[in-house]
Amino acid sequence: MATDWQGCADAVEALLDALTVFEGYLLEAKVPDDLGLHMCSTVRTAVEAVADDLDDYRRVVVEDQGRVFVMFRTDRANRTYSVARCSVRTPNKGHQAPLPHLVHHSPDGFEWGYNGSGPADLARSIVGLILRESIPHPLLYQAVKQRCLSMMPEEGGEVTEAEVRKVMEAAKVDRFAP
């Protein structure tokens, strides 16, 4: 049986178009149901494996919405300062991954414990991940910075997605208040 290589290539291109990737992290895939009809068996097997992983991803990250943002410090070798880091922990399986940095205010990285550029970028990155936006509205992330991150102790801490969403919702209401 001859393989329809053009159909296979078109199917792979459609699959790539269906993926939403942000800062190297796969956020979602909207794969057409009939996509597998046009693929060769090798590509179909690979796509089915990715689809299984995506189902796990959606179940843990997208549907659950119970992520926790963990702020901590790591020491730099031969340096007199530590580096502020943030990772995202999912609730069901406890997976933890670094939070992608949406650089805008602070090219040097994240920070917390005051109302500066490092906390602004941290808040912007958290809000961007939650809303799946690469350029979140400043009103939202500035509110998160002030209410969730500015008072955090220097050693770090945790902020839940529910807390962040509550602050964002309040900021939206405040925006339209008379």
Give yes or no: residues 147 and 165 share one domain.
yes
Look at residue 108 in the predicted model and tell me its pLDDT. Answer: 87
Look at residue 172 in the predicted model and tell me its pLDDT. Answer: 81
CA distance 173 to 32: 37
> Which token pair is 76?
């730099």
CB 115 within 8 A of CB 150: yes
State which of 18, 36, 63 marks the end of a domain.
63
Look at residue 128 in the predicted model and tell me its pLDDT. Answer: 93
Give yes or no: residues 117 and 47 share one domain.
no
Eight-class DSSP state of 108 = T
Blockwise average pLDDT, block size 10, the chain, 178 residues:
59 61 47 52 59 46 66 73 82 79 90 95 94 90 96 93 93 64
CA distance 128 to 25: 13
What is the pTM for the complete model shown? 0.61
Q: Is the dihedral of CA 11, 58, 143, 121 positive or negative?
A: negative
Task: For the beta carbon of residue 148, count every other beta carbon within 10 angstroms.
Answer: 22
Give yes or no: residues 41 and 87 share one domain.
no
Angle between helices 117-131 and 161-176 (to 10 degrees): 100
Give yes or no: residues 36 and 76 share one domain.
no
Give yes or no: residues 115 and 164 share one domain.
yes
Q: Which domain holds residue 30?
A: 5-63
Count of domains for the chain = 2
CA distance 61 to 26: 11
Give yes or no: residues 46 and 111 share one domain.
no
Give yes or no: residues 59 and 95 share one domain.
no
Give yes or no: residues 148 and 82 share one domain.
yes
Give yes or no: residues 72 and 58 share one domain.
no
Q: Are strands 82-89 and 96-98 parallel, antiparallel or unpaired?
A: antiparallel
Give yes or no: residues 127 and 80 share one domain.
yes
Give yes or no: residues 55 and 72 share one domain.
no
Q: Report angle CA 160, 123, 25 to the nearest 5 degrees.
A: 80
> Which token pair is 161?
């997605």
State which of 25, 44, 63 marks the end of a domain.
63
Give yes or no: residues 37 and 72 share one domain.
no
